């Protein structure tokens, strides 16, 4: 409409100027003025607008996320109308788009609020936000500006575990252990009379002199549990009916185990074949075992972001085979997958032979276990089957 209008007006003004028709010229000025001013005003409204979206970008499931949009009009001109649309995934709110039409006076700041609800883990784009405005007469098309999205990370659910049944071969650690072969000489707990077979190194000579009988020191057994989690997110390797709940349960299990390990000052690492949306190659780099809280957050962030994948070349067996060589002796190797078969078992047996302590956790409401399991073990390797988060909570006992 604008283009035709300008051409008509130009012709009108030109003819009016030639024929000296004052009132036609005035009319031309009036209409052309509203067109030009309206057009300039519309562009200026968007140019002088500063938009800022503020929210807590890392949350846990179940938390409410208040989002605040701040609009700052730096111009003296008011923005008569602005239609604001802020997109967000349906997982975060029942309404997919926040929509509001406002009027923003000149040199004013306005804040708009809405709530998101973090229902499930993920890496979500909040936005992009689009702002539309236009002139008061409909001369020009609506001007449109888009603002980049911000990202919200919802961590996976972390279930606090107290004593998960995770064996380790690593001696001299921070965790108390039942087996006396892992006694820690830095943790003396008492003395007893010497018995045949006690090592000479354990004799407490001072106490022996004082009591007149040979006394030997008693130590508390302990282990160090460096743990590496291998998380399989290839949905093809889960039961067909548990393609989605199985990997998600696996993620919760990995997050909970990582949390447990770090709370007990144990090093934990993560290898997964899921997809990282932030990495151009799509792969998640393996996370080396570390003990700190910051390291835990790094693992949780990766688990929050990771996406399930299908038909990827690298399966759980290849993953274990690739990375087990770089793990230290005694590491507890936790494999979380949706199925248990001979192939993975063969890899785990090789890992055990290399001095590691492998464990297989099969997740999903429906699981594929093609192995003879007796007393929770398949060929001596512990196998746990988790059907739901409730069963994981059972590990608290």
Distance between CA atoms of 209 and 214, rounded to whole angstroms?
8
Q: Is 27 in the site for other proteins (CB under 8 A)?
A: yes
Binder among 20, 178, 201, 206 for other proteins (CB under 8 A): 20
Distance between CA atoms of 216 and 161, rounded to whole angstroms?
36
- CA 152-156-157 angle, to 5 degrees, is 130
Binder among 6, 207, 214, 354 for other proteins (CB under 8 A): 6
Binder among 142, 263, 279, 326 for other proteins (CB under 8 A): 142
Binding mask 93-132 toward other proteins (x if CB under 8 A, else -) reads ------xxxxx-x------------------------x-x
Shortest reach from residue 3's CB to other proteins, in Å: 5
**Interacting positions 67-96 with other proteins (CB under 8 A):** 78, 80-81, 83, 85
Distances (CA, A) of 260 to 37, 249, 257, 264, 333: 65, 16, 5, 6, 15
Shortest reach from residue 24's CB to other proteins, in Å: 6
Shortest reach from residue 83's CB to other proteins, in Å: 6
Residue 2 or 89 with smaller CB distance to other proteins: 2
**Interacting positions 146-205 with other proteins (CB under 8 A):** 146-148
Binder among 40, 62, 76, 141 for other proteins (CB under 8 A): 141
Distance between CA atoms of 270 and 334, rounded to whole angstroms?
10
Shortest reach from residue 103's CB to other proteins, in Å: 4
Shortest reach from residue 308's CB to other proteins, in Å: 22
**Can you read off the two tokens belonging to residue 298?**
């790094």
Residues with Cβ within 8 Å of residue 391, at least 6 apart in sequence: none
Burial class (CB in 10 A: 0-12, 13-18, 19+), 314: middle
Q: Is 26 in the site for other proteins (CB under 8 A)?
A: yes
Which of 2-10, 169-177, 223-231, 323-331 is the region at the interface with other proteins (rule: CB under 8 A)? 2-10
Residue 131 or 158 with smaller CB distance to other proteins: 131
Q: Is 3 in the site for other proteins (CB under 8 A)?
A: yes
Residue 19 or 293 with smaller CB distance to other proteins: 19
Which of 60-68, 138-146, 250-258, 352-360 is the region at the interface with other proteins (rule: CB under 8 A)? 138-146
DSSP H/E element including 150: strand 150-154
Distance between CA atoms of 382 and 363, rounded to whole angstroms?
14
User: Does residue 28 contact residue 124 with C-beta atoms inside 8 Å?
Assistant: no
Q: In 10 A of CB 29, how many CB atoms?
A: 13
Handedness of CA 306, 308, 311, 316 (dihedral sign): positive
Distance between CA atoms of 392 and 397, rounded to whole angstroms?
10
Shortest reach from residue 121's CB to other proteins, in Å: 22
Looking at the DSSP bridge assignments, the partners of residue 356 are none
Closest CA to 362 of 388, 344, 340: 340
Q: Which residues are at the interface with other proteins (CB under 8 A)?
A: 2-3, 6-7, 9-11, 13-14, 17, 19-34, 37-38, 78, 80-81, 83, 85, 99-103, 105, 130, 132, 134, 136-138, 141-142, 144-148
């Amino acid at each position: 409409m604008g283009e035709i209008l300008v051409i008509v007006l130009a012709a009108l003004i030109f003819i009016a100027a030639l024929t000296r028709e004052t009132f036609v010229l005035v009319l031309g000025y009036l209409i052309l003025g509203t067109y030009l001013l309206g057009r300039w005003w519309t562009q200026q409204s968007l140019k002088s607008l500063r938009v800022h979206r503020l929210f807590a970008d890392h949350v846990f499931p179940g938390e409410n996320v208040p989002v605040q949009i701040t609009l700052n009009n730096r111009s003296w001109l008011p923005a008569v109308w602005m239609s604001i649309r802020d997109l967000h995934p349906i997982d975060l709110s029942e309404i997919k788009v926040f929509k509001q039409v406002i009027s923003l006076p000149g040199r004013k700041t306005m804040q708009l609020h809405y709530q998101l609800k973090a229902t499930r883990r993920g890496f979500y784009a909040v936005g992009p936000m689009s702002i539309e405005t236009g002139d008061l007469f409909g001369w020009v098309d609506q001007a449109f500006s888009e603002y980049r999205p911000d990202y919200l990370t919802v961590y996976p659910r972390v279930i606090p575990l107290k004593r998960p049944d995770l064996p380790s071969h690593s001696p001299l650690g921070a965790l108390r252990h039942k087996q006396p072969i892992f006694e820690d000489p830095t943790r003396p707990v008492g003395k007893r009379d010497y018995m045949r077979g006690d090592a000479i190194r354990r004799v407490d000579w001072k106490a022996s002199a004082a009591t007149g009988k040979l006394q030997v020191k008693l130590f508390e057994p302990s282990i160090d549990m460096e743990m590496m989690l291998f998380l399989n997110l290839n949905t093809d390797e889960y039961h067909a009916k548990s393609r989605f709940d199985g990997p998600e349960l696996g993620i919760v299990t990995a997050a909970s185990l990582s949390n447990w390990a770090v709370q007990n000052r144990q090093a934990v690492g993560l290898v997964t074949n899921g997809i990282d949306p932030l990495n151009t190659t799509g792969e998640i780099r393996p996370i080396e075992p570390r003990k700190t809280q910051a390291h835990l957050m790094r693992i949780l962030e990766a688990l929050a972001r990771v996406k399930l994948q299908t038909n990827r070349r690298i399966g759980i067996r290849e993953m274990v085979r690739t990375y087990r060589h770089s793990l230290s002796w005694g590491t507890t190797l936790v494999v979380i997958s949706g199925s248990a078969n001979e192939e993975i078992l063969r890899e785990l047996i090789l890992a055990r032979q290399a001095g590691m302590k492998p464990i297989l956790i099969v997740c999903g409401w429906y699981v594929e276990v093609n192995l003879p399991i007796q007393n929770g073990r398949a060929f001596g390797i512990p196998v746990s089957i988790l059907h739901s988060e409730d069963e994981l909570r059972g590990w608290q006992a």
